[in-house]
Amino acid sequence: MTELNRLSIAAARDGLAKGDFSARELTQSCADAMAARGDLGAFITPTPERALEAADQADARRKSGDDAPLLGIPLGIKDLFCTEGVQTTAASKILQGFIPTYESSVTTNLLRDGAVFMGKLNLDEFAMGSSNTTSFYGNVVNPWQSTSKPDMELVPGGSSGGSASAVAARLCLGATGTDTGGSIRQPAAFCGITGLKPTYGRCSRWGIVAFASSLDQAGPFSRNVADNALMMQAMAGFDPKDSTSADVPLQDLSAALTRGVGGMKIGIPAEYVLDGMDPEVVTIWQQGQDWLRAAGAELVDISLPHTKYALPAYYIIAPAEASSNLARYDGVRYGKRVEAESLDEMYALTRAEGFGEEVQRRIMIGTYVLSAGYYDAYYLKAQRVRRLIRNDFDTAFENVDAILTPATPSAAFPVGRKVDDPVTNFLNDVFTVPANLAGLPGMAVPAGMNGDGLPLGLQLLARPFDEATLYAAGQVLEDAAGFIANPPRRAGGVS
């Protein structure tokens, strides 16, 4: 009965339904794994006691005939989702001690479907970053190690680094994340697991700490594509409490898994070939194309001409929205306060002490591009570029059903590298940001390993509200890659 934490969600569901084990036993197995892998820094607030109580309730629900889709399945929750009665920090000092009195809509949906929450997962502060090194609560470590330097700690990616690390290390069977510019797909690729950023509007943003409201989307992390569909089916749904929530029925994602790619047209964008790109990333991309072709897809060369403006536009729009969203952390309404003589001084001191360096940088960029003299030159221009990027995709999707690209320009890099250079950090998102600007769904699927034993992922993009195509093609890639994420055991670790 040991190592139940290593089961997929689908296998755990079957085992629970058959009575092979209880939700309590499954949850205990995850709690044990969490306790053994504190070195990963994946959780800010682990809640194993609450989880065991929830597992008992799930077992009782099952006894009374309840068969909810995720009944008794242990999941981790990115600490950006408000959870009633459980501290929610956004990995920031400024929210330390904030205990929401309400539950986000996405986590409410997961609880409705029976999920058990193991705790709140670490992330980059306010979801700003790509390496999970900006959290006030410490770095997250990737459970994967390179073969050449097994002692070197690697980043899990970000901002949802705790989610990706925890799922890859089998501390929970799945996890929630959010993706504003790549924060689900990039860490999924770095940790060798599957991550979906849904179409903008698919998952409610209500109760999720806002970073950039026109870009933020919640989505699932899982070890395989089928589990991802199970989680997505629970998380998604129209929510009148979020004015940008889309009232568009979700397709049957589990049914899409067996659809295959026969007759599907898949675009390969010329602009995603970058100078100096890691040759192993190019190889895996080519490999993915071969797999899809062998499974019956037609590969089509396409052009997305405004791709090179995506990163600059993102790094204007996202900070602009962040500077406005983060204005609410003023020492009055939430979390921390630094006392001072005057109100203005209290605001200034609270924010200076409460926000980390990266968050302050974003707020300054955001207020600058929104200021009277620069609004037209930067913010308005970036909005226009955003429209052109969406138009590029609309044109491409007249001819293709999906687009295949690398998920990231490199494999996971060492903790500490690149931190002194924010612009190099921003380049991590080069393949993922366009989908956020255009509101499209995107999936990262593990596709293989590089020569140093580290996972590499591919990204699939589809038309708005056509997540089913991503699951169909994602399953084909997973089957072809034969890749089941299996991080090597760290000396003395259990994973």
User: How buried is 367 (Cβ within 10 angstroms: 0-12 exposed, 13-18 middle, 19+ buried)?
Assistant: middle
Tokens 């001690």 locate to 97
* 47/163 with CB nearer ligand GLN: 163
Contact between 183 and ligand GLN by CB under 6 A: the answer reads yes
Instruction: Quote the least distance from Cβ 209 to ligand GLN, whole Å.
Output: 11
* 51/470 with CB nearer ligand GLN: 470
* 114/158 with CB nearer ligand GLN: 158
Instruction: Quote the least distance from Cβ 446 to ligand GLN, whole Å.
Output: 19
Q: Are 440 and 469 in contact (CB under 8 A)?
A: no
**Binding segment for ligand GLN among 107-115, 173-181, 379-387, 443-451 (CB under 6 A)?**
173-181
Instruction: Tell me the residue length of the chain.
Output: 495
How far apart are alpha carbons 475 and 495 in whole angstroms?
25
Q: Which residue is nearest to ligand GLN (CB)?
A: 183
Exactly one of 72, 182, 267, 439 binds ligand GLN (CB under 6 A); that residue is 182
**Binding segment for ligand GLN among 128-136, 331-339, 367-375, 452-460 (CB under 6 A)?**
128-136
Instruction: Quote the least distance from Cβ 211 to ligand GLN, whole Å.
Output: 6
How far apart are alpha carbons 464 and 199 in whole angstroms?
6
What one-character DSSP code corresponds to residue 179? E
Residues binding ligand GLN: what is the number (CB under 6 A)? 13
* 153/429 with CB nearer ligand GLN: 429
Element (H, E) at 459: strand 455-462
Binding flags for ligand GLN, 420-439, as an x/- string (CB under 6 A)? ---------x----------
How far apart are alpha carbons 121 and 175 in whole angstroms?
9
**Binding segment for ligand GLN among 180-188, 237-245, 464-472, 476-484 (CB under 6 A)?**
180-188
* 12/318 with CB nearer ligand GLN: 318
How far apart are alpha carbons 368 and 316 in whole angstroms?
9
How far apart are alpha carbons 450 and 281 in whole angstroms?
8
Q: Crossing angle for the helix pair 467-481 and 279-294, nearest 10 degrees?
A: 100
Exactly one of 40, 51, 127, 188 binds ligand GLN (CB under 6 A); that residue is 127
Contact between 129 and ligand GLN by CB under 6 A: the answer reads yes
Exactly one of 86, 90, 91, 128 binds ligand GLN (CB under 6 A); that residue is 128
Question: Does 18 qualify as catalytic in the annotation?
Answer: no
Contact between 321 and ligand GLN by CB under 6 A: the answer reads no
Contact between 441 and ligand GLN by CB under 6 A: the answer reads no
Tokens 């992330």 locate to 123
Q: Hey, what are 83's tokens? A: 């959870």
Question: Does 183 qualify as catalytic in the annotation?
Answer: yes
Binding to ligand GLN, residues 130-159 (CB under 6 A):
130, 159
The distance from CA 373 to its chain's CA centroid, rounded to whole angstroms, is 35
Tell me the sheet residues that pair with 402. Answer: 266, 462
Tokens 């410490």 locate to 138
CA distances from 210 to 150, 178, 360, 428, 485 (A): 37, 10, 16, 21, 31
How far apart are alpha carbons 405 and 388 in whole angstroms?
20
What are phi and psi for residue 197, nearest 5 degrees?
-100, 115
Which residue of the set 29, 78, 120, 418 is catalytic? Answer: 78
* 362/490 with CB nearer ligand GLN: 362
Which residue of the set 92, 159, 163, 323 is catalytic? Answer: 159
Closest by Cα among 171, 170, 169, 160 to 220: 160
**Binding segment for ligand GLN among 88-96, 124-132, 379-387, 468-476 (CB under 6 A)?**
124-132
Contact between 405 and ligand GLN by CB under 6 A: the answer reads no
Which residue of the set 130, 146, 163, 183 is catalytic? Answer: 183
Question: Does 78 qualify as catalytic in the annotation?
Answer: yes
The count of other CB atoms within 10 Å of the CB of residue 364 is 12
* 159/307 with CB nearer ligand GLN: 159
Q: Are 293 and 255 in contact (CB under 8 A)?
A: no
Instruction: Quote the least distance from Cβ 213 to ligand GLN, whole Å.
Output: 12
Positions marked active-site: 78, 159, 183
Applying CB under 6 A, which residues contact ligand GLN? 127-130, 159, 179-183, 211, 318, 429
